[in-house]
Amino acid sequence: MKLKMLFLFILSNLSYAAGWLDDAYGLWGVGMAVRDRNYINSAIVYSPGVYIFGGYGPLFIEANRAGISFYRDGTYFASAVLNIRSHQFRKDDKGLSDRKTAFEAGIHLGRRLPAGMVTRLAFLHDISAAHKSYELDWQLFRHNHIGPIRLLTAIGIQYQSEKLVDYYYGTKEYSPTAALGGEVEVIVTYPFGHWAVFAGSRIYAFDSEVSDSPIADDYLIKQYFAGFGYHF
């Protein structure tokens, strides 16, 4: 009887899971990230993670950003978004005080352009009491297919407020002002059936307000990741 009940429990939960996954779309996977931050004496960080390039129902998910569109007419779109700022945190770095990963909320305003290009502007404000400020993030990106290979390329420019820059790079002796940054992102996906392998990089470049900080050893933050997943 116990074995029968266990079997029925497993079957019922598999059925529930299958129904739950009906609303999933895009690529869902797991992988490993390598982060080379621009802090003095900071070690390269290796971390496993879940990677979703798709969404669930009305929710779209782009790795560290998720949102729901509330306007879309085929050309213009607007979305409410949540963002995880994980590339600028620091922790236990040989004398540097901790700076938390920030959770941010905001809005995307975007437009589809000719030749498959898409542009969007995001306003993101900290809701986690970390840097307690905001960033403006403009992006231009395109999806391409080269045979079976899928390629995402994106460039971006960020305006980071004075409080944000000071939180991550300021010291008692150094008080930076607002800063400009740039971003280049490339993600390559190779599908085979419903499965796929992927690899990508995100490179952030900052101006002298960041690179002149006594706790910064470079103007670049470099992130690389790879993994595999299932395409719904």
Confidence band of 155 (pLDDT split at 50, 70, 90) = very high
Q: Summarize pLDDT for 41-65 with one digit per residue, the tens.
A: 888 889 999 999 999 999 999 989 9
Our count of domains for the chain comes to 1
Task: Please identify which residue in the block is written with the tokens 């929710």.
Answer: 59
Instruction: Look at residue 63 in the predicted model and tell me its pLDDT.
Output: 86
Q: Say how many C-beta atoms besides its own lie within 10 A of residue 61's C-beta.
A: 20
pTM: 0.87
pLDDT of residue 8: 46
- Please, which contacts does 165-169 make with residues 24 or more away whose CB atoms are closer than 8 Å? 165/209, 165/210, 167/99, 167/130, 167/131, 167/132, 167/133, 168/88, 168/89, 168/90, 168/99, 168/131, 169/209, 169/210, 169/213, 169/215, 169/216
Q: Which domain holds residue 63?
A: 2-231
Lowest average pLDDT, out of 17-31, 58-72, 125-139, 180-194, goes to: 17-31
CATH of the domain at 24: 2.40.160.40
Beta-bridge partners for 70: none
Between 2-6, 115-119, 142-146, the lowest mean confidence (pLDDT) is in 2-6
Q: Tell me the pLDDT tens digit for each residue of 85-111.
A: 989 988 755 556 678 899 999 999 999
pLDDT band at 17 (very low <50, low <70, confident <90, very high): low
pLDDT of residue 223: 96
Query: Whole-number mean pLDDT of the chain?
Result: 90
Q: Which residues contact 11 (CB under 8 A, 6 or more apart)?
A: none
Kindly tell me the number of DSSP H helices and DSSP E strands found in the chain.
Answer: 3, 12
